[in-house]
């Protein structure tokens, strides 16, 4: 054998050895971190193949060509093997993650309440808010909110309630010290100021309910200085008294779960609606039963939004009209559950709460309210 042939054979062996090493090292790399170490050891700046390629410059020119070609072939081969191994390892890592994150949907649910704990319950007032939100939600109403402390203008002025109106008097309304404008902020006496806030910030058509806290200087078995109301407001181009009646009849029948509950609309007066109506439901004074008997029970106030109120909010009353209503949440809750005293709602007596709370898991249907 010539010198050249001997050297060529030696080079072939050297490359074969490198190929063998690389193949077994790659196979042994069991995760991406080990794989990366192998990759750098072969193809990195000071990797073994890189070193051989760098050494080419020192070789004699005849064999340089042959050796260079062989090294480049090996490089392409090793690069492909390295990439292939990366693909395998990535697939294996994904499989492992999928396995670890698998949800066993056949697991039985956790007991409620957890062993040893007492079940929490939903306060009757919160439950009523959930129910009426579901019923009005199904009719396309959104929920709007406003602050408990509001300006005299939002609570009274914009609602067309004149300066001398009895509702503004100190013995009914909680006032805060006057602000810079000389007007005293109020603890809102009804949820109606949120009608104003909604009309000032939303373009009609509008369809909202406003459940929330309200405040009046009253305290007895059926009145609390803090209580809750839910307001309703619908503004559109062709809303009539018929819409108001249909909406409230449907709501009351759904909420009380009485499909033929008698509902009566009685002419009344509110400064912010014209015409105004109070709404009564049928019941028996003797037995207290709703939907039966000859008697009527007042439930809520309502009416067509007064054109002056629309104008106060920058809405053109020649183009838009609508209806509004407001009802007491404690009142409809007490009627629905046959309670005759409102004070326990706020006394935090655990025995009363345990007895009257709703299960957080109990579903309610839209048809029946509960
Ligand atoms: N805000 C009135 C009240 O508190 C109820 C009401 C609201 C009446 C909307 C008409 C329209 O008694």
Give the per-residue pLDDT at 370.
Answer: 42
pLDDT reading at 368 higher than 70 = no
Domain limits for position 168: 124-369
Q: Are both 16 and 135 inside the same structural domain?
A: no
Determine, yes or no, domain membership for 335: yes
Give the per-residue pLDDT at 369.
Answer: 45
Q: Which residues line ligand 1 (CB under 6 A)?
A: 190, 192, 231, 270, 273, 301-303, 324-326
Exposure b/e, 248-279, CB count within 10 A at least 16 = b = bbebbbbbbbbeebbbebeeeebbbbeebbbb
Determine, yes or no, domain membership for 111: no
Q: Are both 301 and 160 inside the same structural domain?
A: yes
Q: Are both 23 and 61 inside the same structural domain?
A: yes
Task: Read off the CATH number of the domain in which 304 is found.
Answer: 3.30.930.10
**Ligand 1 atom closest to the CA of 159, numbered from 1:** 1
Q: Are both 7 and 60 inside the same structural domain?
A: yes
Lowest mean pLDDT among 48-52, 157-161, 275-279, 360-364: 360-364
Determine, yes or no, domain membership for 119: no
pLDDT reading at 1 higher than 60 = no
Question: What total number of domains does the chain contain?
Answer: 2
Q: Are both 24 and 163 inside the same structural domain?
A: no
Q: Are both 240 and 152 inside the same structural domain?
A: yes
Q: Are both 271 and 365 inside the same structural domain?
A: yes
pTM score, whole prediction: 0.71
Determine, yes or no, domain membership for 110: no
Determine, yes or no, domain membership for 115: no
Q: Which of 155, 211, 270 to mutate to test the pocket of ligand 1 (most atoms within 8 A of CB)?
A: 270
**pLDDT-based confidence at residue 91 (cuts at 50, 70, 90):** very high
**Ligand 1 atom closest to the CA of 301, numbered from 1:** 8
Mean pLDDT score of the chain: 91
Long-range contacts of 10-15 (CB under 8 A, 24+ apart): 11/63, 11/66, 11/67, 11/70, 12/70, 14/52, 15/70, 15/71, 15/74
Q: Which of 166, 188, 190 to mutate to test the pocket of ligand 1 (most atoms within 8 A of CB)?
A: 190
Q: Are both 158 and 304 inside the same structural domain?
A: yes
């Amino acid at each position: 054998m010539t010198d050249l042939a001997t050297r060529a054979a030696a080079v072939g062996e050297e490359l074969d050895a490198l190929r063998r090493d690389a193949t077994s090292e790659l196979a042994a790399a069991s995760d991406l971190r080990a794989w990366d170490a192998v990759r750098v050891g072969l193809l990195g700046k000071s990797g073994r193949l890189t070193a051989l390629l760098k050494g080419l410059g020192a070789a004699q020119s005849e064999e340089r060509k042959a050796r260079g070609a062989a090294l480049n072939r090996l490089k392409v081969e090793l690069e492909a093997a390295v990439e292939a191994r990366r693909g395998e390892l990535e697939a294996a890592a994904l499989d492992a993650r999928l396995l670890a994150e698998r949800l066993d949907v056949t697991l039985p649910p956790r007991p409620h309440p957890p062993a040893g704990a007492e079940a929490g319950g939903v306060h009757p007032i919160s439950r009523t808010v959930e129910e009426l939100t579901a019923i009005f939600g199904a009719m396309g109403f959104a929920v709007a909110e406003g602050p408990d402390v509001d300006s005299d203008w939002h609570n009274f002025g914009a609602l067309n309630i004149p300066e001398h109106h009895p509702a503004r008097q100190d013995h009914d309304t909680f006032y805060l010290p006057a602000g810079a404008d000389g007007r005293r902020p109020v603890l809102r006496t009804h949820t109606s100021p949120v009608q104003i806030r909604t009309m000032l910030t939303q373009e009609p058509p509008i369809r909202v309910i406003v459940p929330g806290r309200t405040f009046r200087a009253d305290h007895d078995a059926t009145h609390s200085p803090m209580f809750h109301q839910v307001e309703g407001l619908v503004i559109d181009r062709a809303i009539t008294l018929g819409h108001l009646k249909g909406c409230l009849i449907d709501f009351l029948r759904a909420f009380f779960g009485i499909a033929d509950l008698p509902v009566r609309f009685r002419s009344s007066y509110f400064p912010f609606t014209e015409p105004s109506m109070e709404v009564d439901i049928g019941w028996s004074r003797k037995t207290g039963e709703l939907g039966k008997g000859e008697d009527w029970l007042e439930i809520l106030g309502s009416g067509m939004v007064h054109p002056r109120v629309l104008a106060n909010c920058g809405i053109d009353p020649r183009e838009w009209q609508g209806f509004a209503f407001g009802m007491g949440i404690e009142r409809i809750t007490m009627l629905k559950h046959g309670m005759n005293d409102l004070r326990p709602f706020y006394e935090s007596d655990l025995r009363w709460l345990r007895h009257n709370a709703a299960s957080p898991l109990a579903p309610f249907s839209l048809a029946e309210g509960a």
